[in-house]
Amino acid sequence: MNPPPSAPSLPACHLCGGVLAPVEGAAALARVTSDCRPWPAGGALAVCRACATLQSPVDAAWRDEIAALYADYAVYAQAGGAEQRVFAPGDGAAQARSDRLVSALCAAFDLPETGRLLDFGCGNGAFLAAFGRARPGWRLTGLDQCAVHRAAILALPGVEAFLTEPPEPGAARFDLVAMIHSLEHLPDPAGALRETATLLTPGGRLFLETPDLATSPFDLVIADHVSHFTAATLTAVVRRAGLHPLAPPAGWVAKELSLVAAAGGAAGGELAPADPARESRRARALLDWLMAVLAAARGAGPGLAVFGTSISGTWLAQALADRVALFIDEDVNRIGRSHLGRPIVAPDAVPPGQRVVLPFPPAVAAGLAGRLAPRGWDLLSPPALEGSGDA
Ligand SMILES: [Zn+2]
């Protein structure tokens, strides 16, 4: 009898049931949680030989770890609960992420003035609030397994209900279901999408927002992201659930994928399937690059400033420990607070000559370095990232 094609301890792919191939060396990678807390190394990564999705194998160890992680989950603690700002690539102009998503959604899909929205994984209600401002005639429902924001969400204009469990399949009819940074957390994304499709009215739309691994290598360090999607693998799981993307995933927010799908009828968004061998090479290249980012910053300390307090800044700072003296952030909701015991200061408070690490993908770091050059800081940009792109 031939040996099995992958390590016998690996479960099947949680997206399609295919056989997983492990990504060697993943256990050494320092990690953080998606709400920006340090988290121990020791995770596993694998690429499905069928659907090519890079993922954490969903086994008993993963379920135990994720239960511990979610037991102490807090959204946007660095900003005291205020929503993350997104910054335009050119001039750095700030806008709340949800306002950006709602305006893009309204522009792309001619949303009617009235309807019913379900926000699946609504967190602290930031998207519901932004949607209610743009479409005050809609009736809104928030769904989140964590009920800590229930009262605040029910107080938002237009919100008629808050749920901690999905409605019975087919029981409620929504014209739009939003899943914003939810799908990458779910151990059965295709099943969740199939059930969600039954909640849509005829002609209703599903709106998905996930990280884009192709432009966001730091997605790999997030311990609670069980699927790391690219445009091709996200499109594939949506189709597998019987939904039809209206167009290929867009990038309405930098480093993310924005996909709108219908429950039936319209077809579009055709993409070539992802290639498992290429995705394995991508995973290897991203892991190597992340290790190189850490090694370069380790050689540059102590007294470092880290630019940004989100995922990549948190990840770098926890791995560098006492080499980091402060964080620099342009988000007014974060300036003056502290993160990991270090102060968060405004760019104007940092003198010329300060050694500043830019923990971003090379293209993003290059744009930022150009904008920051007049400040005279000693900028440490990331090493080149090769072999990870779609080309
Ligand atoms: Zn698969």
How many angstroms does the Cα of residue 14 sit away from the middle of ligand 1?
7
Residue 363 CB contacts under 8 Å (≥ 6 apart), including other chains: none
Residue 23 near residue 45, CB atoms below 8 Å: yes
> Among residues of the chain, what percentage have pLDDT more than 90?
72
How far away, in angstroms, is 12 Cα from ligand 1 center?
Answer: 8
Between the CA of 53 and the centroid of ligand 1 the distance, in Å, is 6
**What pLDDT sits at residue 89?**
42
Contacts 24+ apart (CB under 8 A), 134-142: 134/102, 134/103, 134/106, 135/106, 135/111, 137/113, 138/114, 138/175, 139/115, 140/116, 141/116, 141/117, 141/172, 141/174
Mean pLDDT (whole number) for 312-338? 92
Confidence of residue 306 (pLDDT cuts 50, 70, 90): very high
Res 3: pLDDT: 47
Q: Tell me whether residue 147 is in a domain.
A: yes
Domain for residue 288, yes or no? no
Average of pLDDT values for 319-335? Answer: 92
Q: What is the mean pLDDT of residues 1-30?
A: 83
* Range(s) of the domain holding residue 220: 82-262
Domain count, the chain: 1
Note whether 3 and 267 are within 8 A (CB).
no
If you measure from the C-alpha of residue 213 to the centroid of ligand 1, how many angstroms do you get, rounded to a whole number? 16
Centroid of ligand 1 to alpha carbon of 52 (angstroms): 6
Distance 259 CA to ligand 1 centre (A): 20
Instruction: Report whether pLDDT(9) > 90.
Output: no
Q: What is the mean pLDDT of residues 265-284?
A: 79
Does residue 234 lie in a domain region? Answer: yes
Phi, psi of 183 (to 5 degrees): -60, -35
Q: In angstroms, what is the span from residue 275 Cα to ligand 1's centroid?
A: 11
Distance from residue 240's CA to the centre of ligand 1 (Å): 11
Give the CATH number for residue 106: 3.40.50.150
Please report which confidence band the pLDDT of residue 321 belongs to, taking 50, 70 and 90 as the band edges. confident
Measured in Å, residue 347 CA sits from the centre of ligand 1 at 44
- 266 C-alpha to center of ligand 1: Å? 25
Nearest to 376 by CA among 359, 356, 348, 353: 353
Q: What's the whole-number mean pLDDT along residues 60-71?
A: 90
In a domain, 326, yes or no: no
pLDDT score for 85:
59
What tens digit of pLDDT does each residue of 85-125 get?
Answer: 555 444 445 568 899 999 999 988 888 999 999 999 998 89
Question: For residue 221, how far is its CA from the centre of ligand 1 (angstroms)?
Answer: 20
Task: Tell me which amino acid residue 301 is.
Answer: G
Residue tagged 């924001």 (tokens)? 149
Q: Is residue 365, in this structure, part of any structural domain at all? A: no
**Ligand 1 centre from 13 Cα, in Å?**
5
∠ CA 260-104-359, rounded to 5°? 95
Q: Which of 147-151, 166-170, 188-192, 226-230 has the lowest mean pLDDT?
A: 166-170
pLDDT value at residue 73: 73
Average pLDDT of span 10-17: 95
pLDDT-based confidence at residue 244 (cuts at 50, 70, 90): very high
pLDDT band at 346 (very low <50, low <70, confident <90, very high): very high
CA of 51 to the centre of ligand 1 (A): 4
Asked whether the predicted pLDDT for residue 391 surpasses 50, the reply is: no
pLDDT over 80 (residue 264):
no
Ligand 1 centre distance from Cα of residue 17 (Å): 6
Q: At 40, is the pLDDT very low, low, confident or very high (cuts 50, 70, 90)?
A: very high
- Residue 81, token pair as written in the block: 């609960």
Average pLDDT, the chain: 89
- List pLDDT tens digits, range 178-212: 999 999 999 999 999 999 999 999 889 999 999 99
Spacing, Cα 186 to ligand 1 middle (Å): 14
Instruction: Flag whether pLDDT at 269 surpasses 80.
Output: no
Greatest Cα-to-Cα distance within the chain, rounded to the nearest angstrom:
67
- The average pLDDT across 285-302 equals 91
Flag whether 290 is in a domain.
no
- d(CA 36, ligand 1 centre) in Å: 28
Q: Is position 197 within any domain?
A: yes
Distance 276 CA to ligand 1 centre (A): 9
Residue 179 in domain = yes
Q: What's the 49 CA to ligand 1 centre distance in angstroms?
A: 7
| 242/336 Cα distance (integer angstroms) | 48
